[in-house]
Structure 1
Amino acid sequence: MTTQVPGRAASSPELPALLPGMLRVEPDTEDAARRGRVRRSVRDWIVDTLCFLIAIFIGLSNFDAAMETDPPELVQLLDLGVGLLACVSLWWRRRWPVQLAIAIALVSIGIASAAGAAIVLVFTVAVHRRWQVAAVVAGVHACAGLLFYRIYPDPGLAYRWAALLTIFGVAVITLWGMLVRSRRQLVLSLRERAYQAESEAALRVERARHLERERIAREMHDVLAHRISLLSVHAGALEYRPDAPREDVATAAGVIRASAHQALQDLREIIGVLRAPSSGDDPDRPQPTLAQLPALVDESRQAGMRVTVVDELAGDGAEPPSVVARCAYRVVQEALTNVRKHARGTGVIVNLTGGPGGGLSVEVRNRMPVGSAGPVPVPEIPGTGTGLIGLAERVELAGGSLEHGITPDGDFRVRAWLPWPSVSG
């Protein structure tokens, strides 16, 4: 007798693939029986065969004891025939355990050879049905046993002792079946928890991969968008001025070559992070901080931008945490890249304020282009429109906040506030 998951055999190899929420701890096959025949496994066939043989053995033993009164031969043949049918009915005990148990209980009142089938059915109901149903079935069989000893009294045992043994035997079989049922429920519960743990572990791994992909995507956007925008500006200048002096053309070509080389180097470093196994000891690459901010501003100025940096950081040269410094660098980089894309030719002011204990404030402001003085050399550089969204997520992960939009003065402002804890003495 094996526990069945509703709608699926217990030995099905597809069970580990089920979602934890689809598992049921209740080893009740009634729903499966209503939908159709419950498929037997090899183990089920072996158990059912043993139950059939045990029922025949117990039935014949009880028949021999009951026939000591030497009833008519026709009664004996009828008893053996009905008892055999009761044992054969055990092959359907998985589909109709309660119905067969009640029917065999009524039959066993006058049929001695049905005792084995009755015992097996009491045990089956206790295993596969709730305790209330099992208790009712046990009571019916106990009453049937008491009536049986009225019809076939035991010459060597007083009726009251026969009644006590009958009640005790039915109770023991019922409790044994309930114990088996409880154990199966525990096993199914532990199995469900194991499946849930595996599913949660898989979800954690998938989430970690997703977060890593997002981190790498942000790195590629921040780094490559900056480099490619520089390439576009210098290439656009060459296209707009094909008759420029040879020295200017050579200088622009050198800047393009250097920017392309640096973009490939940055891309190689990012892909190296993607391929290399993650380690808590190895820092993410690249790792720009505020120390690289002058180089970033120089690159933008070489591309023709007018950038002014106002450094009002306090703290006597104290450096903010690496995460904060890196996030501040990305804010300035993304803002300068957006100016090259959407507001080329306007002046940019980068303002850094704050200090330990008060937080770091990064503000990038540029005048919105209204009525350009001359034709735009090249078309506007296309963008995905997700740069500021990704930047806001980066700032929030660092514990800060980001604001962006048009001010009442007509400037476009990107302002980020990042936590800068005070230096403890």
Structure 2
Amino acid sequence: MGELTVSPAGRRTPEYRWLQPAELWETAERPGARRSTRDWVVDSLCFLVALAWTLVAGLDLLQPEPDIVPQWTDTPVWLAWADLLAGAALTTALWWRRRFPVQLAVLATVSGTFSIAGAIAGMIIIFTLAVHRRFGVTAVIAVASLAGNAVFAQLRPEEGVSFAESLAWSTVFLAITLLWGMVVRSRRQLVMSLRDRAERAESEQQLRVSQARAMERTRIAREMHDVLAHRISLLSLHAGALEIHPSAAPAEVAGAAGVIRASAHQALQDLREVIGVLREPASDDTPERPQPTLGELPALADESRAAGVRVRLELQVDDAATVPAGTGRAAYRIVQEGLTNARKHAPGTTVRVCVAGTPGTGLTIDIRNPAPVGARPAVTIPGTGTGLVGLAERATLAGGRLTSGRGADGEFSLTAWLPWGQPGVAQ
């Protein structure tokens, strides 16, 4: 058995895990690999059993009248000694049976043509071959062993037993050994295959979790970007007002400066949250993020009014508390982006925001503002030009739709519809 290492999934697995499952049992114990405690116990038992049989059979054959092993006719002394030495060699070789299963199986096949003392050791080696080598190699050795058994039955016939009966019994023992070894091999391959599948499934699950976390963090960062853009637009608007009216009353200047300071502080906080979401590694603790709802639209309108934007908000929503969180958050973002666009492209106009809906019919958001009068102001709020694209994507992902454009009278409209099912009905 190979040394144990820690796999990516955290499990302790053999060092030969770099092999594919189909090739795993084609490689036996590698040079320098240390045996486990179980291997030492199994190898010691095999060695002791084979050694006991070798001593009993070999010494009994050297006695004039053998009475323990079956009586073999015409066994000269030199053959009995050769039998004992072959059995001792095979028994000693059992310590390397995992490293050299094919070579030892060939040696066991050759010695099996004349040796009785090496029978148990030979069976153990054949069993090891069936466990650690594919069926093709095992089949070749099995055919060679059958031929060796036929030679043994011819060279050393047992008294009172015919050649066919002796060959049949040796074939039965060989078949049992091979089948047992192949069953063990198949079971080990099945266990390894199931373990590989489990580890692969766990790795894929961890990858999916990591991807989901990354996507969630990106989505959170995008939402924070919307909030940050709103703060900065207010900041730019107040700064522009101070630049246009430098002779305003000190109280107005102080008020505008206070709003600028507060907006800058909030924008800085939002920026820190965005950077924190993007930099912190994914963990089980979800980062804190703003979760606006439909009930925060009046506060959003008041914030825009404080910046000098004329906003007329109409909420015609039955039981706003039952609006799904995702729908309410999407509606808030759409209204927020609509107000931001109005401040950018139509300063000084009145923005009409109408949010209406009932469970079952959906939530309708309508934002309208007339075209600006006069020349375009010198101070403008920079933008990326993708705000409406992002809103359309958000509405689509929520299961709704969004349209925008300027009418024949020059009025710009932003209309969205979001699904709002019946309470208690799965969406």
* Aligned residue among 8, 12, 18 for 2:5: 12
- Change in Cα spacing, 1:422 to 1:50, as seen in structure 2 (3 Å) is closer
Q: State the match for 1:321 in structure 2.
A: 323
Give the secondary-structure state (helix, strand or coil) at the position aligned to 2:6.
coil
In structure 2, relative to structure 1, the CA distance for the partners of 1:156 and 1:12 (3 Å cut) is: farther
1:74 Cα deviation after fit: 4.1
Q: Does 1:340 align with 2:343?
A: yes
1:330 Cα offset (Å): 1.4
> Could you tell me how far 1:177 is from its partner in structure 2?
1.6
* Counterpart amino acid of residue 116 in structure 1: I
Structure 2 residue corresponding to 1:287, chosen from 269, 287, 292: 292
Greater mean alpha carbon deviation, residues 122-131 or residues 43-52: 43-52
Please show how residues 254-269 of structure 1 align to structure 2 within 5 Å.
254-259=258-263
**Residue 395 of structure 1 aligns to which amino acid in structure 2?**
A
1:140 maps to which residue? Answer: 144
> Deviation at 1:407?
7.0
Is 1:301 aligned to residue 318 of structure 2?
Answer: no
Aligned with residue 109 of structure 2, among 105, 112, 118: 105
Which residue number corresponds to residue 420 of structure 1?
Answer: 420
CA shift, 1:119, in A, is: 0.9
Q: CA deviation at 1:47?
A: 4.4
Cα gap change, 1:256 to 1:73, in 2 (>3 Å): same
- Give the whole-Å Cα distance in 1 for the aligned partners of 2:275 and 2:33: 54
Residues 181, 258 of structure 1: CA spacing in aligned structure 2 closer, same or farther, 3 A cutoff? same
Pairing 1:399–2:399 present: yes
Following TM superposition, by how much is the alpha carbon of 1:335 offset from its aligned partner in structure 2, in angstroms? 2.4
* Kept in 2: contact 1:366–1:412 (CA 8 A): yes
Of the structure 1 ranges 385-394 and 226-235, higher mean CA displacement relative to structure 2 is found in: 385-394
CA distance in 1, matches of 2:19, 2:416: 49
Of 118, 124, 141, 2:122 maps to 118
Letter in 2 for 1:181: R
Partner of 1:192: 196
Relative distance call for 1:146 and 1:405 in structure 2 (3 A) is: farther
Partner amino acid for 1:213? R
CA distance in 2, matches of 1:395, 1:54: 77
Q: 1:109 Cα deviation (Å)?
A: 0.8
| Deviation, structure 1 residue 333 | 0.4
Choose from 34, 41, 48 the match for 1:41.
34
Q: Could you say what secondary structure the match of 2:375 adopts?
A: coil
| In structure 1, distance between residues paired with 2:166 and 2:56 | 16
| Partner SS state of residue 42, structure 1 | coil
Alignment partner of 1:247 out of 233, 240, 251:
251
Judging changes above 3 Å, is the alpha-carbon distance between structure 1 residues 402 and 147 closer, same or farther for their aligned structure 2 residues?
A: farther
- Cα displacement (A) at 1:420: 2.2
Aligned residues: 404
Conserved in 2, the CA contact under 8 Å of 1:27 and 1:185?
Answer: no
CA–CA distance in 2 between the matches of 1:271 and 1:210? 14
Contact kept in structure 2, 1:363 and 1:416, CA below 8 Å: yes
Amino acid at match of 1:359: G
Contiguous gaps of at least 5 residues in structure 1? 3-8
Aligned pair in 2 of structure 1 residues 216, 28: CA closer, same or farther (>3 Å)?
Answer: closer
Structure 1 pair 39/26, CA: closer, same or farther in 2 (3 Å)?
farther
The one-letter amino acid paired with 2:398 is A
Distance 1:65 1:408 in 2: 116
Q: In structure 2, do the counterparts of structure 1 residues 295 and 55 end up closer, same or farther at CA, with 3 Å as the change threshold?
A: same
Amino acid at match of 1:40: A
Structure 1 residue 259, shift from structure 2 partner: 3.9
1:268 CA drift (Å): 10
Change (3 A) 1:28 1:355: closer
Distance 1:388-1:152 versus aligned 2 partners, 3 A rule:
farther
CA distance in 2, matches of 1:143, 1:400: 80
Going from structure 1 to structure 2, the CA distance change for 1:421 and 1:160 (only over 3 Å counts) comes to: same
Is the 2:352–2:368 contact (alpha carbons within 8 Å) kept by the matching residues of 1?
yes
- 2:381 aligns to what? 380
Q: How many angstroms does 1:188 deviate by?
A: 2.0
Query: What SS does the aligned partner of 1:361 have?
Result: strand
Q: Is the 8 A contact 1:269 1:286 kept in 2?
A: no
TM-score normalised over the length of structure 2: 0.73
Give distance in 2, aligned partners of 1:409 and 1:123.
93
User: Which structure 2 residue ranges, 5 or more long, are not aligned?
Assistant: 67-72
Q: What displacement does 1:189 show?
A: 3.6
Between 1:20-29 and 1:159-168, the stretch displaced more is 20-29
Q: Does 1:173 align with 2:173?
A: no
1:367/1:107 Cα in 2 relative to 1: closer, same or farther (>3 Å)?
Answer: farther
Q: Residues 144 and 328 of structure 1: is their aligned pair in 2 closer, same or farther, counting only changes over 3 Å? A: same
Contact kept in structure 1, 2:368 and 2:411, CA below 8 Å = yes
Task: Measure, in 2, the Cα distance between the counterparts of 1:206 and 1:424.
Answer: 32
Q: What is the RMSD computed on CA atoms of the aligned residues? A: 4.5
Find the aligned partners of 1:284 and 1:414 in 2 and give their Cα distance: 27
